[in-house]
Amino acid sequence: MRSLRKLALWTLAILSGIATLYLGIMCVTSMLIGFRQVQTTGFWVPILAGSLSLVALLFLFLRIIRFIQARMKQEELINI
């Protein structure tokens, strides 16, 4: 049972990392679109939206990873 929990927590960590990577690429793409359209009015909107989304995404990802590590330590599934 412990190994199944450990596998589930590691799978959750890997899947959240993949989702964060995908959404991070979308945020960076939004910022790049804003930087390429500097000559138009309102170019700052995609830059601001992408950067704020990226900060929120990284904050959420770090919270999830800390929660998973704390859970693994609590159940003695990890040796750190």
- Domain hosting residue 56, numbered range: 20-74
The two tokens of residue 67 are: 């929660």
Domain membership flag for residue 5? no
Question: How many structural domains compose the chain?
Answer: 1
pTM of the complete model: 0.81
Contacts (Cβ under 8 Å, ≥6 apart) of 47: 30, 31, 34, 35
Domain membership flag for residue 33? yes
* CA separation for the pair 56, 64 (Å, rounded): 12
Tens-digit pLDDT string for the chain (80 aa) = 677 888 888 899 999 999 999 999 999 999 999 999 999 999 999 999 999 999 999 999 999 999 988 888 877 766 55
The two tokens of residue 21 are: 């990577």
Domain membership flag for residue 6? no
Contacts (Cβ under 8 Å, ≥6 apart) of 24: 54, 57, 58
Domain membership flag for residue 9? no
Domain membership flag for residue 79? no
